[in-house]
Chain A
Amino acid sequence: MPCYRHHNIRSCPLVVILALVVFGLLGCESEPRPVRPEAVVQAVPVDALVVDAFTDGEFGAHIIETVAGDVATVNPLVNESVGGSVVIGRILDSLISLDPKSGEVIPNLAKSWEISEDRMQYTFYIREGVYWSDGHPFTAEDVVFTWQTFFAKKRDPDTGELLLGDDGRPLYRYNSRSTFGQQINGQEPQVEMIDDYTVRFTTPEVYAPFLLFGGGEEILPKHILYESYQDGTLLDQWSVETAINEPWKIVGLNMFVLESYRPGERMVFARNPNYWKVNSQGQRLPYVDRIISKIVQDANSSNVAFAQGQTDFESIGPDNVAWVRRGEERFDYTVLDMGPSNTTNFIWFNLNPGTNSEGQPYIAPYKFEWFSDKRFRQAISYGINREGIIRGVFFNRADILNGYVSPKRKFWYNDDIRKYPYQVQKSRELFREMGFEYRDEQLFDGGGRRVEFSLITNSNNGLRVEMATVFKENMAALGIEVELQFLDFNTIVTKISDAFEYEACMLGLGGGAPDPYAGKDILMSGGRMHFWYPQQQAPATEWEARIDELMREVGRHTDVDTRKKYFNEVQAILAEQQPFIFLVSAKDYAGYRNRWRNVEPTPLGGLTWNTESLWAEVSE
């Protein structure tokens, strides 16, 4: 029959496709996978840290959580994302850590340290008998190796000579955040191994934050990474490919190791069998066996999963907290108010006096004259109804922000600064003092020009868009016309850091290290993120010169009270000059399922700072 030919054509692809589907459903598993080596479990270290602040619990529970966004790498030298830092922070650990209650530096892998008389030598004494998660001993050699990777130089492969960049400085072999971030005024700190358990750092000059910044550096395992350090592939190590196929190669000192990773789906962390903290009975922590991190698209989907009782711990945004709270009883969880967040929202005016490539000034000269007058900025600040923003935009889930330091950082917060309550009358007085005048409730400057400017902010942050709208209304009440431009985030960053073609901008800053010196790039006039006029050759104004001077002192002194004194003055100058017009700081919320024990939230550490002590009854 001639139709057989036809018959074959149609059924053949179908059979093949069906076979493909069946094969495909399991296809990913059919490749031979390298076998996970058995982890060597060593004895509990002599110097194990005994965590006795919490009750002893039951071993074996799992934490289920969601994380917004996938990781791109597990290599701390490459990672640039917050999500990546969280993952890496579970696996790797550092010599010191911060007390989540007081914010002080406390011992971690280093059981103690000494600072020399001249304040330039830091000697760390490492806990003895600590092992990496694979059972290899941890010594000072690993610390030295970690710092070698930061400062290794590029050399000519044939002659071994140092290769120099255009500026005559040596080129680094592995450019990482630490390579430049750990340099002190362009000079590298030196590190030497005294013995297996003692390591000494020497800073080129007195540099107060070194204990925190240097000691807080995550330590890399030399026995795993040395080979790639030698052959030049260090930055390609610990990629997601490693995480998928050979997660056990990512060896760490912290409480978890990566058990498996499925891109776009989930990460599973298993407890580190060689962890160096024990409970009061000498049993190795943590109590939880695994953390299962499901990867979801964004923070909203993550909040949804928690609100349906699917996850154990969650941080909740101010705009979601109301509906998340509704499920508290039904799904047996608790939502807590964690107080003000680290995130600060502010407006600034472009104070860059430069010109673009065509010789046009970035800011029209008459506008530049307004913006650079501190009375103008103060008047704007008095004219902003911050309570109105808190009520209307945040539904009371935010606090007024008066200065550069969020009240959450109690330790550095200076309350004794000039404040700008909502006083339209005061604004108008200041404008009149500048020679401005009102005609039909519209503000004109001394030259008879209408006072108006444009404000840019990023369109993908809904709360910020609403804040900008309130700001526009507030300014209209002062007789000022504000044109709002909602732009893509990349466009904004380009405008404020390269093109400088904008008049005013509203953005937020989050996170940041707990030491004020970490803000030097923002506060000092030469800094890359000195928003209103970055990378100045010499300070443009007297008050900026003074801030530079004060910040240098903050870096140079190790005495806390002296540092505080200098930094308080920085905050006072910023408040008086208003280069940043601060608005509000949203509150943080966090939730946890009630089955968890030993949950002791702190504003700085959040809910899970003591993950090693968290436990839950294991239900079958």
Chain B
Amino acid sequence: MIAFIIRRLLTLIPLLLGITMLVFLLMSLAPGDFLTPVKAQRDVPAELIQAIETEFGLDQPWYVQYYKWLGNVLQGNLGHSWAYKLPVSDLIGQRIWATFLLSVCAFVFSWAIAIPLGVLAAVYKDSIFDRISAAMAYAALSIPEFFLALLLVFFAAQTGWFPLGGATSIDYDYLSFGGKFIDRAHHLILPTLALGIGSVASIMRIMRANFLDTIRAGFVTTARAKGLRERIVMFKHVLRNAINPLVSAFGFAFSGLLSGALMVEIVLQYPGLGQLMYQSILREDQFVVLASVMLGCSMLVVGNLLADILLAWSDPRIRLEGKK
């Protein structure tokens, strides 16, 4: 098991190398660089631009820049953001909490709703409930996240029931502990909905399909034949077996925790990592972009790993081993 984990984590190294190199190459191919918008300002002296170009190493070819950056990363230094003049790690640290919180909320929201709904849809297969839930699930799946977010912005603007953007109210700092909690929760509702509804639909459909598969399994017939009550058969035996495949979905969901909220954050003006990434890409603030890409990539690998481990843990038939 440990060998397996180590092997998986080792594959991360060539992956990160390849991806960061690709990002460097692409950013050098993109028109302009970080200083281009500065060049368009009328009162910036040419000498300053030259001095900064040399300072940032922008006058060198991309592979030289990459080599230098790599050297710094190997020493644990992700570089300085050019726009913010801050270590990239600090910058990400400022924002990561907000995004993490939003993702976890969306995660809890979607799973807590989707699993019971999926089970009910399977148990009452072909009932009116099943039909309605299926129709709603298809609708939810077909609406892109960003569009849903736009609809929610419109809704909030029309009704005034929810704040438009932000994570806290103006008077947040003067609220009591409970008031702070409620204020934050209030600001989280819309982003959570926008981020969560799509996965409610997909998880629910997976759950329903798994459940139906399991109902047809031999042990269910046995259990019924033994005279167990239907409720116990369904919720004790079928449910526990049906949920296994979702455990791996859990791992994948983990990989999107920090990078999945980008669109929603931008549309709903939620001050998280997604906004920072988006701005840095627009600005070509190279090292911030690289750090975000590496973060997303690592989360994906770790998420996959987590899915495998959880699966092995919950299903005794699966054994993880390092390559002999």
- Interface residues of chain A, those whose CB is within 8 Å of chain B, are 3, 6, 9-10, 13-14, 17-18, 20-22, 24-29, 64, 70, 72-73, 75, 78, 80, 171-172, 175-177, 179-181, 183, 235-236, 239-241, 244, 260, 262-266, 292, 294-297, 301, 304-305, 308, 488-491, 493-494, 497, 509, 511-513, 518-519, 521-522, 528-529, 535
* Chain A binder among B18-26, B39-47, B120-128, B142-150: B39-47
Q: State which residues 70-114 of B face A: CB under 8 Å.
A: 83-86, 90-91, 94-95, 97-98, 100-101, 104-105, 107-108
- The complex places the Cα of A582 from the Cα of B87 at a distance, in Å, of 44
Q: Once the chains bind, are A241 and B94 in contact (CB under 8 Å)?
A: yes
Partner of A73, one of B30, B45, B84: B84
> Beyond the given A28-B98, A489-B37, could you list 16 further A-B residue pairs with CB under 8 A, ordered by the A residue number?
A21-B108, A25-B181, A25-B184, A26-B184, A27-B97, A29-B180, A175-B52, A236-B86, A239-B85, A263-B95, A264-B269, A296-B269, A490-B284, A493-B39, A497-B39, A535-B46
A72-B83, A296-B165 given as contacts; is B100 within 8 A of A518 (CB)? no
- The complex places the Cα of A3 from the Cα of B38 at a distance, in Å, of 64
* Chain A binder among B132-140, B167-175, B216-224: B167-175
Q: Once the chains bind, are B42 and A175 in contact (CB under 8 Å)?
A: no
Q: Once the chains bind, are A21 and B32 in contact (CB under 8 Å)?
A: no
Give A75's nearest chain B residue, CB to CB. B85
- The complex places the Cα of A491 from the Cα of B45 at a distance, in Å, of 21
Give B279-316 as 1s and 0s: 1 = Cβ < 8 Å from A's Cβ atoms. Answer: 10000100000000000000000000000001001100
Contacts of B42 in A (CB 8 A): 509, 511-512, 518-519, 521-522, 529
Q: Once the chains bind, are B94 and A181 in contact (CB under 8 Å)?
A: no
Contacts of A304 in B (CB 8 A): 157
Give B224-266 as 1s and 0s: 1 = Cβ < 8 Å from A's Cβ atoms. Answer: 0000000000001000100100000010000000000000001
User: Would you call B275 an interface residue if the criterion is a C-beta within 8 Å of the partner chain's C-beta atoms?
Assistant: yes
Q: Once the chains bind, are B314 and A9 in contact (CB under 8 Å)?
A: yes
13 A-B pairs with CB atoms under 8 Å apart are: A17-B108, A24-B104, A25-B184, A80-B37, A80-B38, A175-B51, A177-B48, A180-B46, A181-B44, A241-B86, A489-B40, A512-B43, A528-B46
Contacts of A236 in B (CB 8 A): 85-86
User: Would you call B161 an interface residue if the criterion is a C-beta within 8 Å of the partner chain's C-beta atoms?
Assistant: no
- The complex places the Cα of A336 from the Cα of B113 at a distance, in Å, of 51
- The complex places the Cα of A25 from the Cα of B187 at a distance, in Å, of 11
Q: Once the chains bind, are A263 and B101 in contact (CB under 8 Å)?
A: no
Please, how many residues of chain B have a CB less than 8 angstroms from a CB on the other chain? 66
Contacts of A489 in B (CB 8 A): 36-37, 40
Q: State which residues 181-195 of B face A: CB under 8 Å.
A: 181, 184-185, 188
Q: Once the chains bind, are A26 and B48 in contact (CB under 8 Å)?
A: no
Q: State which residues 4-58 of B face A: CB under 8 Å.
A: 30-32, 36-49, 51-52, 55
Partner of A17, one of B107, B165, B166: B107
Contacts of B170 in A (CB 8 A): 64, 266, 292, 294
Interface of B is mostly: helix
Q: Once the chains bind, are B105 and A21 in contact (CB under 8 Å)?
A: yes
Contacts of B269 in A (CB 8 A): 264, 296-297, 301
Q: How far is the CB of B40 from chain A (nearest CB, A)?
A: 5
Partner of A265, one of B84, B97, B107, B168: B168
The winner among B45, B51, B250 for most chain A CB atoms within 10 A is: B45
Q: Once the chains bind, are A264 and B43 in contact (CB under 8 Å)?
A: no
A64-B170, A235-B85, A266-B170 given as contacts; is B36 within 8 A of A490 (CB)? yes
- The complex places the Cα of A333 from the Cα of B279 at a distance, in Å, of 33
Partner of A26, one of B36, B51, B90, B181: B181
Contacts of B313 in A (CB 8 A): 9
User: Would you call B198 an interface residue if the criterion is a C-beta within 8 Å of the partner chain's C-beta atoms?
Assistant: no
Q: How far is the CB of B147 from chain A (nearest CB, A)?
A: 17
Q: Once the chains bind, are A80 and B41 in contact (CB under 8 Å)?
A: yes
Q: Once the chains bind, are B236 and A3 in contact (CB under 8 Å)?
A: yes
Q: Once the chains bind, are A265 and B48 in contact (CB under 8 Å)?
A: no
Contacts of B276 in A (CB 8 A): 263-264
- The complex places the Cα of A72 from the Cα of B105 at a distance, in Å, of 29
Contacts of B83 in A (CB 8 A): 72-73
